[in-house]
């Protein structure tokens, strides 16, 4: 029996994981209930960094992720755009990942167009699109934005975009918000934008769970706020919803909180699997010793 | 000419920051006497304006371009007054664009501070978070609006911005983050500050200075020294190894298992899968992976095993083909080399993973090598390989992926072990010497860390200014 | 000669770029070299694309095992390339409304956008989400308390797994404020910020020295195995 369990077909484990994720998704989708979240200090710092700026401040939103990590980073990207729009900040979108512009456009269509109809392209937000060159792009735009971004994603020259008036480089931004799934991402923004200009450039970020430990050394001097994976997104969403959501926020602004349900059950399943694996291991070892 | 410690050849006298500007005071030699008299009058005015108890101003204020730098910095120097001074403040004249931006920044900062203060106060009082946010926002708006009206009232006046602070014992300071093409050059003021906080009349430079780029970046001197020492250590040990110095390298299980893995694949009649990461040839990990491929290819050629090398970059494919071809040549079996087994799949990360997973399940390779830079795909690949019963050896310098490889692979080369593979597998004295040199580098790093920790601890306990200075030099000069 | 020329190019350009880092006037050479590499790598795509077509068309033509997969690969490659290059379904841009192809190839509503939205996006998300299943099976199979170190790791894993969910808050909410550092969510942050960062830094120092040493070996031609010779 022990031997059989030890060599358990892993598809059973896959099935358990599928149920651990699917059932909470279904239940939360049906009931609309989510687990309560207590925002951490880092989530609060991220929220405050945006909220403490006066209305109409300039925010550079760098979406350096792809559809693969959208499940983990999408909710925080949406929440970032929403908080900036609620604060009437001017949003400058760009991406160092090739598919970043599509994700930027998706968030514009999800948040700005339906919920902030007074927002006008070119006056309140602009999509500068993708530029190849990884950290090389950052090195250039910290001193000269127009060199790499002479036009926006639609091909409109930056001189003809009202909100680009007076923007020589990204030092003119009041804050950089980076959503990052890896390389190039937050680490490169910190190293090549914040470190050379600590008094001019400030950044907060959201990243995948795997990436977060590599960014902790930069907190808090170079990186005052960081959202780690869906947990960070859920905490941040709570802060945004408490401030701007009203009694019944739109479900699209609750994605992070909703995804914490499957995460909870999946984590508990992981713990149970580890305990089961170890129980089998010790039983097998005891049997081996007694023989 | 000196009048009561004020060198009027170099200094203009102006009211303190925030005071009424005194226009038209640029020096002209013809007017020295008149201006000297005016200077005395200004000191008298200053006394009545609250400078009476302040220290004497510094003299000989000169700004010069900093030597051996990349530009963007100048050195401001001065002669200390005879009266005791606690510190000096250095200010720079701003141009119109800067004033505009500074006003904006000041409004942003004032709003942030006001919001933070309100938030702190109300949170301590136990006010509901929604109300805290609302009031903090209102406070931020009010602060920004108040400052804006103040700024509009003083628009057009020359503005000096503080750029540095120096101790009373200092007579010069470096002012950086300047532009090499600032219109008209930079002008500076130095203000002496006494221990009771009173300020002297500002003393100003008479000649504007423009920073310029120098032939060598002195700020990177220590980096150059460290580079020379580390490279020197590597080169010294390579030379020593060539002269016959005996060198030993500890057994690295993952590399020792290379032959075993290829042998197993041969016995089972199944292919060997080698993946040199998902990055291009400009990534040093890919290069290290190709180095291991060289050995795997040679062993496979000797054993007549089949090695399949899918790549996610075209250049890696080309390099891997060259390597495999040479490996077969060395093994004396160039005819057995099949270039079609080294092929390109796709640059797209998960497209590459999808192909590899499918291929592993279909072809069931007996041995899988993952050598290079990997990201989220590491566990998917390693678990798929595990499920088909392959012996798996991984090597990467991506710290975030190491736990996944350790969990799912039989052997994992962790970080530097991966880079040592080339030396380990070849056993050449040159390469082993480079490893020894690397160890010297590690000793230096460890030594610096211990020394740094000891100094920081001692400075913290004793509060010694000397130790603080050493620590600061270590952190801010040597290691930046 | 086939080995010697690349070795010289490597050595000269590598050493020159290292020196250039310390000479302000030459500093931008490094960025230029990066751009050259990007151009080279982009041009090399022709090589990769050609190789992909050659191998998979041969598989289809010879009806080798798994030829149907190759057919799908070739079809996907050709369709995506054609749709992108021919700008199929592209609307004129706002700036140039009189020119039919002036819009972006990937703007909303184009054929390329459709492929991205309904093929690429779900497929890559599916591949990434496989991680959840593989992590579970790896945890069941490999995470064993074989010795003290492994047991410590196991305990740490439990704390982090719980601390990253509401379970962590729920289980330790009874702890008084004076012991808030022991609450699972706070303990998780501490584990990630202190011991984890220390370990990561140690690995990174070793990696950095390894990179420096390997680079030097390559520049000096001590390690030529990447060129196909030991």
Alpha carbon distance B30, B94 (integer Å): 28
pLDDT of residue B358: 93
Alpha carbon distance B410, C97 (integer Å): 60
Of B76, B63, B66, B68, residue with least CA distance to B219: B68
Instruction: State whether B309 and B394 are in the same domain.
Output: yes
What CATH number has the domain bearing residue B21?
2.60.40.10
Shortest Cα distance, chain B CAs vs residue C222, angstroms: 7
Q: Is A155 on the interface with C (CB under 8 A)?
A: yes
Q: Which residue of A has its CA nearest to C29?
A: A136
Secondary structure (3-state) at C84: helix
Average pLDDT over residues B72-82: 92
B43 pLDDT more than 70: no
- Of B287, B353, B402, which is closest to C214 when you measure between CB atoms? B287
Instruction: State whether B421 and B443 are in the same domain.
Output: no
Domain housing B399: 253-426
Per CB-CB distance under 8 Å, the chain B contacts of C143 are 407
8 Å CB contact of C116 and A102: yes
A229 pLDDT more than 60: yes
Query: Could you count the other beta carbons within 10 Å of the beta carbon of residue B129?
Result: 15
Q: Which residue of C has its CA nearest to A160?
A: C95
Instruction: State whether B348 and B273 are in the same domain.
Output: yes
Pairing relationship of beta strands B2-3 and B6-7 according to DSSP bridges:
antiparallel
Instruction: State whether B178 and B81 are in the same domain.
Output: yes
Instruction: State whether B67 and B207 are in the same domain.
Output: yes
Shortest Cα distance, chain A CAs vs residue B31, angstroms: 41
Per CB-CB distance under 8 Å, the chain A contacts of B349 are 66, 68
The secondary structure of A234-275 as a DSSP string is HHHHHHHIIIII-SS--GGG-HHHHHHHHHHHHHHHHHHHHH
- Find tokens 């040093």 and name the residue: B284
Q: Which residue of A has its CA nearest to B142?
A: A54
Instruction: State whether B227 and B212 are in the same domain.
Output: no
Alpha carbon distance B372, A47 (integer Å): 38
pLDDT of residue B266: 93
Query: Could you count the other beta carbons within 10 Å of the beta carbon of residue C64?
Result: 11
pLDDT of residue B29: 39
Q: Is B345 on the interface with C (CB under 8 A)?
A: yes
Structure tokens at B388: 């088909």
Instruction: State whether B284 and B362 are in the same domain.
Output: yes
Number of domain units in chain B: 4
What CATH number has the domain bearing residue B346?
3.40.50
pLDDT (tens, 9 = 90+) of chain C, 230 residues, equals 777 888 899 899 999 988 988 888 887 787 788 778 888 888 888 889 999 999 999 999 999 988 999 999 999 999 999 999 999 988 888 777 888 888 888 888 899 999 998 999 999 999 999 999 999 998 888 888 888 988 998 999 999 999 988 888 889 989 998 888 899 988 998 998 889 888 888 888 899 899 998 899 889 888 877 776 55
Alpha carbon distance B473, B361 (integer Å): 57
Instruction: State whether B270 and B327 are in the same domain.
Output: yes
Q: Is B322 on the interface with C (CB under 8 A)?
A: yes
Of B308, B91, B103, residue with least CA distance to B188: B91
Instruction: State whether B386 and B407 are in the same domain.
Output: yes
Is residue C91 exposed (0-12), middle (13-18) or buried (19+ Cβ within 10 Å)?
middle
Query: Is-contact B222 B357, C-beta < 8 A?
Result: no
The secondary structure of B184-227 as a DSSP string is T-B-EEEEEE-TTS-B---EE-SS-B-----SS-GGGHHHHHHH
Instruction: State whether B148 and B210 are in the same domain.
Output: no
- Of A10, A57, A243, which is closest to B108 when you measure between CB atoms? A57
pLDDT of residue B214: 87
Instruction: State whether B134 and B230 are in the same domain.
Output: no
Of B402, B442, B439, B440, residue with least CA distance to B418: B402
Which of B385, B408, B426 terminates a domain? The answer is B426
Contact pairs from chain B to chain C, CB under 8 Å: 196
Instruction: State whether B412 and B303 are in the same domain.
Output: yes
Strand ranges in B43-107 using DSSP code E only, listed in sequence order? 59-65, 74-79, 87-93
């Amino acid at each position: 029996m022990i031997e059989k369990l030890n060599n358990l077909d892993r598809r059973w484990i896959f099935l358990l994981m599928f149920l651990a994720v699917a059932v909470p998704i279904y239940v939360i989708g049906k009931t609309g209930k989510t687990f309560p979240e207590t925002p951490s200090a880092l989530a609060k710092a991220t929220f405050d960094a945006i909220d403490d700026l006066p209305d109409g401040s300039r925010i550079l939103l760098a979406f350096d992720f792809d559809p693969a990590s959208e499940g983990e980073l999408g909710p925080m990207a949406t929440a970032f755009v929403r908080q900036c729009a609620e604060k009437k900040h001017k949003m400058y979108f760009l991406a160092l990942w090739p598919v970043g512009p599509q994700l930027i456009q998706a968030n514009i269509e999800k948040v700005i167009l339906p919920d902030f109809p007074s927002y006008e392209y070119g006056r309140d937000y602009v999509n500068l699109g993708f530029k190849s060159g990884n950290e090389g792009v950052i090195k250039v735009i910290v001193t000269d934005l127009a060199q790499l971004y002479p036009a926006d994603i639609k091909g409109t020259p930056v001189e003809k975009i009202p909100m680009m008036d007076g923007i020589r480089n990204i030092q003119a931004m009041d804050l950089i918000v980076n959503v990052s799934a890896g390389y190039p991402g937050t680490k490169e923004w910190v190293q090549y934008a914040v470190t050379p200009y600590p008094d001019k450039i400030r950044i907060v970020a959201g990243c995948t769970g795997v990436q977060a430990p590599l960014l902790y050394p930069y907190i808090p001097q170079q990186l005052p706020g960081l959202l780690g994976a869906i947990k960070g997104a859920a905490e941040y969403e709570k802060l945004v919803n408490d401030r701007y959501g009203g009694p019944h926020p739109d479900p699209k602004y609750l994605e992070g909180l909703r995804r914490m349900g499957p995460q909870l059950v999946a984590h508990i399943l992981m713990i149970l699997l580890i305990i089961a694996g170890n129980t089998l291991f010790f039983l097998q070892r005891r049997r081996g010793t007694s023989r | 000419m000196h009048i009561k410690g004020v060198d009027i050849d170099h200094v203009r006298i102006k009211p303190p920051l925030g005071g009424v500007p005194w226009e038209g005071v640029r020096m002209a030699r013809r007017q020295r006497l008149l201006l000297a008299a005016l200077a005395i009058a200004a000191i008298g005015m200053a006394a009545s304006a609250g400078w009476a108890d302040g220290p004497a101003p510094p003299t000989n204020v000169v700004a010069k371009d900093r030597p051996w730098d990349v530009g963007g910095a100048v050195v401001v120097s001065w002669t200390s007054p005879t009266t005791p001074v606690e510190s000096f403040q250095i200010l720079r004249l701003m141009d119109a664009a800067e004033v505009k931006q500074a006003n904006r920044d000041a409004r942003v900062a004032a709003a942030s501070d006001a919001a933070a203060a309100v938030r702190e106060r109300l949170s301590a009082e136990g006010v509901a978070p929604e109300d805290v946010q609302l009031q903090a926002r209102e406070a931020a708006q009010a602060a920004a609006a108040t400052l804006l009206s103040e700024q509009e009232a003083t628009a057009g006046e020359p503005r000096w911005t503080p750029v540095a602070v120096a101790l009373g014992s200092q007579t010069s300071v470096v002012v950086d983050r300047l532009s090499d093409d600032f219109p008209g050059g930079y002008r500076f003021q130095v203000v002496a500050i006494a221990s009771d906080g009173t300020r002297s009349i500002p003393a100003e430079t008479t000649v504007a200075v423009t920073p310029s780029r120098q032939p060598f970046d002195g700020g990177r001197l220590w980096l150059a020294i460290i580079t020379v020492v580390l490279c020197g250590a590597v080169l010294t040990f390579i030379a020593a190894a060539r002269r016959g110095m005996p060198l030993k390298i500890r057994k690295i299980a993952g590399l020792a298992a290379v032959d075993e893995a290829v042998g197993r694949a041969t016995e089972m009649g199944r292919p060997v899968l080698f993946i040199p990461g998902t990055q291009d040839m400009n990534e040093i990990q890919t290069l290290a992976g190709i180095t291991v491929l060289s050995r795997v290819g040679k062993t496979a050629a000797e054993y007549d095993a089949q090695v399949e090398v899918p790549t996610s970059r075209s250049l890696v494919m080309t390099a891997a083909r060259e390597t495999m071809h040479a490996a077969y040549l060395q093994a004396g079996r160039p005819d057995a080399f099949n270039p079609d087994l080294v092929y390109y799949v796709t640059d797209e990360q998960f497209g590459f993973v999808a192909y590899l997973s499918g291929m592993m399940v279909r072809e069931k390779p007996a041995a899988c090598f993952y050598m290079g830079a990997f990201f989220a795909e590491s566990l998917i690949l390693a678990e798929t390989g595990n499920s088909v019963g392959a012996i798996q050896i991984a090597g990467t310098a991506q710290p975030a992926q190491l736990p996944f490889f350790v969990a799912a692979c039989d052997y994992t080369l962790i970080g530097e072990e991966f880079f040592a593979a080339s030396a380990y597998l070849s056993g050449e004295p040159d390469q082993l010497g480079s490893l020894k040199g690397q160890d010297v580098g590690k000793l230096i790093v460890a030594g610096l860390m211990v020394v740094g920790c000891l100094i920081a601890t001692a400075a913290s306990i004793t509060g010694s200014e000397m130790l603080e200075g050493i620590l600061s030099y270590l952190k801010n000069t040597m290691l930046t | 000669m086939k080995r010697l020329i690349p070795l010289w190019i490597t050595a000269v350009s590598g050493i020159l770029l290292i020196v250039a880092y310390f000479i302000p006037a030459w500093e931008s050479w490094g960025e230029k070299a990066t751009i050259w590499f990007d151009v080279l790598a982009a041009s090399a795509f022709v090589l990769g694309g050609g190789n992909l077509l050659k191998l998979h068309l041969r598989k289809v033509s010879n009806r080798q095992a798994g030829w149907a997969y190759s057919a799908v690969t070739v079809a996907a490659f050709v369709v995506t390339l054609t749709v992108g290059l021919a700008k199929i379904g592209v609307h004129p841009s706002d700036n140039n409304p009189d020119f039919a192809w002036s819009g972006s190839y990937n703007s909303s509503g184009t054929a390329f956008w459709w492929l991205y939205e309904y093929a690429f996006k779900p497929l890559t998300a599916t591949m990434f989400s496989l991680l959840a299943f593989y992590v579970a099976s790896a945890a069941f199979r490999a995470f064993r308390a074989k010795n003290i170190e492994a047991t410590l790791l196991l305990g740490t894993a439990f704390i982090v797994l719980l601390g990253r969910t509401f379970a962590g808050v729920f289980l330790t909410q009874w702890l008084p404020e004076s012991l808030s550092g022991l609450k699972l969510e706070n303990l998780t942050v501490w584990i990630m910020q202190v011991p984890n960062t220390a370990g990561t830094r140690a690995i990174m120092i070793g990696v950095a020295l390894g990179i420096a040493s390997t680079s030097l070996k390559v520049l000096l031609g001590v390690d030529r195995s990447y060129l196909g010779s030991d």
